[in-house]
């Protein structure tokens, strides 16, 4: 048979396939989310996320050293406090677990990794919402912004290089950027969780941070049915001064990720969330899929869709796989 187009010519050998690969992974494009729990002396396994733990301060040090050796780009820290209240006081306490962990991380690996912090109230509030509540029990957008500004200053003063604004309050990037600049903290970068959806795939994360949430976050996180809205949110965050923007979750929202990446003048990241992690681990544990291939394929897919970097609980493992 005679026809000129035979794409299989470029798939004949491993060497040929490697030569024409369009999307490559590098360890520096991977960011490891880490949970640090107050009041424990040993790491606590998270049942719904096999292989992931709530770290003690000591185990945090060990894992940070491993992450630095693996050459990943950074870590995103989440705090799990012993005590919570209505306004999330632990998030602004300089001796709260997240700020303590941040100072430790900067001291240990601040020259090797970008130490990042989650800037949200949900881990610290007794009601589990990402903001403070009004008299009717609704999340008060503007009152929450005041708390975000206080958290931003606390985290920046603790040494965080990049603040992950994950609460999805309107105007959060603008007010935090202004608060940082007014305090002379002009070098602290802001990551705007621009397109963050009210997803079922956050389930295991709730266990990871001992969430107190009753109900849902549909009044401030995006409707999974809406694609154009993700672009609108991303454009607003860029206009308000975000240094990086985020799409979250990743795998169920690759269309949104591709849309945002195509229009953004700033780096675009994606978060491979707890439910995505748990599904692959569960299927692999049953022998239904090849675990390592599924991990790497999932991360490649996110990068191929346009993510400049990926937050993934497999960051260290994937980095080691890339370099071996």
Q: Which CATH number does the domain housing residue 55 bear?
A: 3.20.20.70
Residues 305, 306, 308, CA angle at the centre, nearest 5°? 135
DSSP conformation letters of 21-37: -S----GGGEEEEEEEE
**Within a domain: 10:** no
Cα–Cα nearest to 164, from 29, 172, 315: 172
DSSP conformation letters of 28-69: GGEEEEEEEETT-SS-EE-TTSTT-EEEPHHHHHHHHHHHHH
Q: Quickly count helices (H) and strands (E) in the chain.
A: 11, 10
Domain around 160: 26-323
**Within a domain: 5:** no
pLDDT in tens, the chain (324 residues): 788 899 999 999 999 999 999 999 999 999 999 999 999 999 999 999 999 999 999 999 999 999 999 999 999 999 999 999 999 999 999 999 999 999 999 999 999 999 999 999 999 999 999 999 999 999 999 999 999 999 999 999 999 999 999 999 999 999 999 999 999 999 999 999 999 999 999 989 988 998 888 889 999 999 999 999 999 999 999 999 999 999 999 999 999 999 999 999 999 999 999 999 999 999 999 999 999 999 999 999 999 999 999 999 999 999 999 998
**Within a domain: 160:** yes
> The whole model's pTM is what?
0.96
- Residues 6 or more apart whose CB falls under 8 angstroms from that of 138 comprise 219
Q: Into how many domains does the chain fold?
A: 1
- Residues 6 or more apart whose CB falls under 8 angstroms from that of 180 comprise 152, 153, 156, 163, 186, 188, 190
Round to whole Å and give the CA distance between 124 and 89. Answer: 7
**Within a domain: 166:** yes
**Within a domain: 7:** no
Residues acting as catalytic residues:
196, 248
State both tokens at 71.
């050459």
**Within a domain: 9:** no
**Within a domain: 13:** no
**Within a domain: 250:** yes
What is the per-residue pLDDT across 4-45, written as a single tens digit (0 to 9) for each? 899 999 999 999 999 999 999 999 999 999 999 999 999 999
Place of tokens 């630095």: 68
């Amino acid at each position: 048979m005679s026809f000129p187009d035979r794409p299989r010519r470029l798939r004949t050998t491993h060497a040929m396939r490697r030569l024409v690969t369009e999307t490559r992974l590098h360890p520096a494009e991977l960011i490891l989310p880490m949970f640090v729990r107050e009041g424990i002396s040993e790491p606590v396994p998270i049942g719904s996320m096999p292989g992931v733990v709530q770290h003690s301060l000591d185990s945090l040090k060990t894992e940070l050293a491993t992450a630095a050796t693996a050459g990943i780009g950074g870590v995103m820290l989440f705090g799990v406090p012993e005590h919570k209240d209505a306004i999330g006081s632990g998030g602004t306490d300089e001796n709260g677990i997240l700020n303590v962990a941040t100072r430790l991380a900067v001291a240990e690996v601040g020259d090797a990794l970008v130490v990042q912090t989650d800037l949200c109230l949900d881990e610290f509030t007794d009601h589990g919402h990402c903001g403070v509540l009004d008299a009717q029990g609704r999340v008060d957008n503007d009152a929450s912004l005041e708390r975000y500004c206080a958290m931003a200053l606390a985290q920046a003063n603790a040494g965080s290089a990049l603040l992950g604004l994950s609460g999805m309050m309107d105007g959060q990037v603008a007010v935090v950027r202004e608060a940082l600049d007014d305090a002379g903290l002009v070098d602290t970068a802001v990551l705007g969780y621009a397109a963050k959806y009210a997803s079922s795939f956050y389930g295991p994360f709730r266990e990871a941070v001992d969430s107190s949430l009753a109900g849902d976050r549909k009044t401030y996180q995006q409707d999974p049915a809406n694609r154009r809205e993700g672009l609108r949110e991303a454009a607003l965050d860029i206009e308000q001064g975000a240094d990086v923007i985020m799409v979250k979750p990743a795998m169920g929202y690759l269309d949104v990720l591709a849309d945002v990446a195509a229009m953004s003048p700033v780096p675009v990241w994606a978060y491979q969330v707890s439910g995505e992690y748990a599904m692959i681990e569960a299927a692999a544990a049953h022998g239904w899929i090849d675990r390592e291939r599924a991990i790497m394929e999932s991360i490649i897919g996110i990068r191929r869709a346009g993510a400049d970097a990926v937050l993934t609980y497999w960051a260290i493992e994937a980095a080691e796989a890339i370099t071996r």
